[in-house]
Chains A and B, each alone.
Chain A
């Protein structure tokens, strides 16, 4: 094998997943409870335009961005912590966001636009800082302590969320529960713009440390001996992945499973290092959440079902098939 074989393989894989994502986006923006075609929208039908461009397209794009973000965060945490079970949620990042959101709801702030996402994002950042500080000993961040701190903080957040729900007004609870189960209802172009910018910044940042980050696969001592500044790479990787997770969770609520599942799916299809997996996870995560969101709104026409359930429904059979084939 030589590098002549490496790049076309990455290019081929990226092209394949990009095509799948494009198809998923077209499908998701075309299908829905109301009849509205792209042909009508493009020929000036105002209603069709309002539905497709005002509602479905930003929602489908936001689904792709949320999926990409969670999968990118997942592959980063797994590489960083050398742990196949690591994902954006196990570290308490989304728990912090949910905690912030539920406190905001209990305080009666849920009706003010933009307040819940903003407080959720602050909660995610606060949780990240707490987990990181708890896991730090002298100048060293211990991956096991990082996971343990995340688990313990998650338990604490769950308690706060339950208490908040107990004292929330009945009328605010429906929205809060929907958020906890993950929803892209009411996606706006502003959300799309915000997440696009954050995703690009985080991908560029992670690509910059990609050569060093993948060396962590062989252990921190090995990476250090290869001239990698391990603590710096861990800090940049952890903060980047946490911030984008916080942003994704603040716009979509909690969509489980993507950050854990997608990196493993991609790794089973292309068993390569972090640099290779990063763009593929972004695309694969996008495909999964776009399809899951589509199913969540078309399976039952009268209401929307949780997206997180469909990421599992779609992902698990695929995952198990690959697992069987690989062994």
Chain B
């Protein structure tokens, strides 16, 4: 579905992403991890067409990104930035239905079909009851669900989420991770999400991409990444592995 071929990007001289090659198929939950500043957000922005690679090529369905009309591509690939809160408070249903924007003509307003899609997306995210509430009256977890619904409202085939679990408490992290897994399994969509939480990422995702200083250091199954020697090398994180339920969990090694 999506091919990255040797892509690089630099912000005013500072190299952010370098020589990344990878491909994504349908029906996968992919965790994008790596230390702060390793290029995760930049990579997501390149795929979302927020930024254009300086070198290399990205292709979706075999067609280069620059050959896709912007709105057509936006129907296929939806991106959720880290902090998308609107400047002025809005009703959740209005936030979600704005996810239908790529389908609207210049002077069109959202129609019944768009509102139906928005309501469907809210129920997929267990947030049907939030439609009539204002964003600024919601908890962080509820807001995340509304924004996930906004992304789903366009029925995209590829979803890119930049740190959707950040600032959630542990029970919401679990609920949200399970929700992502469920959406992938039910709809066949592919979700790529940036996260710092290795244990949750490994527990729910099919594949982990680990970035390091702008390069793709590892593209592997979770079981291959969740090894003490691997995380020490990639994250500088001193951990011990605890095997439970057929998989490794990483616990920090505390020197007392």
Contact = CB atoms under 8 A, between A and B. Distances in A.
Interface in A184-221: 207-208, 210-211, 214-215, 217-219, 221
Nearest to A79: B87
Given A1-B132, A218-B98, A227 B70 contact: yes
A84 B88 contact: yes
A2 interface: yes
Interface in B93-131: 93-94, 98, 101-102, 104, 106-112, 114-116, 131
Interface residues of B, number: 44
B115 A2 contact: yes
Contacts of A111: none
Interface of A: 1-4, 6-7, 78-79, 82-84, 207-208, 210-211, 214-215, 217-219, 221-222, 224-229, 267, 271-273, 275
A21 to B, nearest CB: 24
A82 B87 CA distance: 6
Contact of B74 (A1, A214, A225): A225
Contacts of B29: none
Contacts of B71: 226-227
B88 A271 contact: yes
A211 B72 CA distance: 16
A3 B81 CA distance: 27
B50 A6 contact: no
A215 B111 contact: no
B147 to A, nearest CB: 9
B173 to A, nearest CB: 23
Contact of A273 (B83, B98, B104, B134): B98
A225 B83 contact: no
Contacts of A79: 87
B112 A4 contact: yes
Given A3-B111, A84-B87, 5 more contacts: A4-B112, A7-B109, A225-B50, A225-B77, A226-B71
